[in-house]
Amino acid sequence: MGMLDLVLIWAFIIGFGIIMYVVMDGFDLGMGILFPFAPTEEDRDTMMNSVAPVWDGNETWLVLGGAGLLAAFPLVYTTILPALYIGVFLLLAGLIFRGIAFEFRFKASTSRYLWNWAFAGGSTLAAFAQGAVVGAYIQGFEVTDGVYTGGALDWLSPFTILTGFGLLAGYALLGSTWLIMKTEGRLQEWAYRITIPLLLGVLGVFVIISIWTPFVDEMVKDRWFSNITVIWILPALTLICAFQIFRSVRNRFEGMPFVATLGLFIFTYLGLIVSRWPYVVPPDITLWDAASAYDSQLFLLIGLVFVIPVVLAYTAWTYWVFRGKVRAGEGYH
């Protein structure tokens, strides 16, 4: 090693990739979770139209994150994926159904209801699995000599079921605030209406997790109740975001609810990171333990230095092209 600590750079890249995936695929998964409850079929068309042009790009972050994790932190990849075996299968199965539904629903008439179910079911399954994965991560993994030694269903516990429902509510909240921003009329009214209950659901899960986690894990407790008091700014900011969602929905602001929900996700995510830093496979494998060879990290980094700006620019451009409201039966203009 020596010259440059690539591990930190890679930790930043992977961490950034994960939050990009979570917030971006989050709102389109949220669309699927809300899908069955939409007021009319026409509104469902509008909902799908609002995410159809971007979901594919959102998924890029997942694949890039998966491959990047293998390249930069193989030990994370090879301990967590076996630990979450069944969960990963459910996640992928959900994403496949969701992805195929996107393609076929636009082409179907009589079979459209089937694709509706595939879209809603796939999205809900994928979101729940992701939430359970987060919970399993907080819980920690049974690892001996760099190999997962726990059971097949260790990841599924009352705690992870709670986080699963928590993320379902969180993604639905991202979805409803996205709709507030992107639609108008009846659908927007509906989105305004469901946002506060969803927010309360998310906050409820937050509160339970915040009380529960210190009991589940000694290390997290030490971190939060030790002398590093500055980290309390993160839950404070999370609460400010929650309040902001509440206020902006009441005042019928259109963009702010979504922005505040993004803030809610980002600060929660940072809170999760500071709880664990520098352990990347809880409870006791650090980033440096998990890293691949310096050479390998460098070899890939050289390529990514060129690629990541392009990915970001392309993403920004896509969202710019599709800015503005989406209307039923008409698409953008």
Partner 1 sequence: MELDPLILSRIQFAFVVSFHAIFPVFTIGLASYIAVLEGLAFKTKNPSWVKLSAFWTRVFAVVFGMGVVSGIVMSFQFGTNWSNFAQATANFLGPMLSYEVVTAFFLEAAFLGVLLFGRDKVPPGVHLFAAVMVATGTFISSFWILSANSWMHTPAGTEFRDGVFFVTSWSEAIFNPSFPYRFTHMVLASFLTGGFVVAGVSAWYLLKGREVEANRKALSMCLWLLLVIAPTQAVVGDFHGLNTMEHQPMKVAAMEGNWETSRNVPLLLFAIPDQANQTNRFEIAIPSLASFILTHEWDGEVPGLNEVAAEEQPPVAIVFWSFRVMVGLGLLMIVFAFAGLVLRAGGRYWQTPWFLQGLRLMSLTPFVAVLAGWFVTEIGRAPWLVQGLMNHSEAVTPSLTGGMALFSLIGYFVVYALVFSAGVYYLMRVLYVGMEDSDIDKEYGSDRPKRPFSAAHVPFDIDDNGTHKPLNQGGH
Site string for partner 1, 236-275 (x = CB under 8 A): ----------------------------------------
Nearest CA to 21 out of 50, 60, 51 is that of: 60
Buried b (16+ CB within 10 A) or exposed e, 26-59: bbbbbbbbbbeebeeeebbbbbbbbbbebbeebb
For tokens 């030790």, name the residue. Answer: 226
Site string for partner 1, 54-93 (x = CB under 8 A): --xx-xx-xxx-xxx-xxx-xx-xxxxxxx-xx-xx--xx
Q: Should residue 149 be labelled a site residue for partner 1 when binding is judged by CB under 8 A?
A: yes
Question: What end-to-end distance do the CA atoms of the chain give, in Å?
Answer: 53
Q: Which is nearer to partner 1, 80 or 264 (CB)?
A: 80
Both tokens of 67, joined, read: 């491959």
How many of the chain's residues bind partner 1 (CB under 8 A)? 75
Site string for partner 1, 96-125 (x = CB under 8 A): xx-xx-xxxxxxxxxx--------------
Indicate the SS3 state at residue 279.
strand
Q: Is 83 exposed, middle or buried (0-12, 13-18, 19+ CB in 10 A)?
A: buried
Q: Which of residues 276-305 bind partner 1 (CB under 8 A)?
A: 292-293, 295-296, 299-300, 303-304
Nearest CA to 217 out of 316, 113, 135, 144 is that of: 135
CB of 177 to partner 1, least distance (A): 23
Both tokens of 306, joined, read: 């060129």
CB of 226 to partner 1, least distance (A): 33
d(CA 27, CA 124): 12
Q: Which is nearer to partner 1, 264 or 291 (CB)?
A: 291
CB of 103 to partner 1, least distance (A): 4
CB of 20 to partner 1, least distance (A): 13
Site string for partner 1, 37-56 (x = CB under 8 A): --------x--xx--xx--x
CB of 182 to partner 1, least distance (A): 15
Q: Should residue 309 be labelled a site residue for partner 1 when binding is judged by CB under 8 A?
A: no
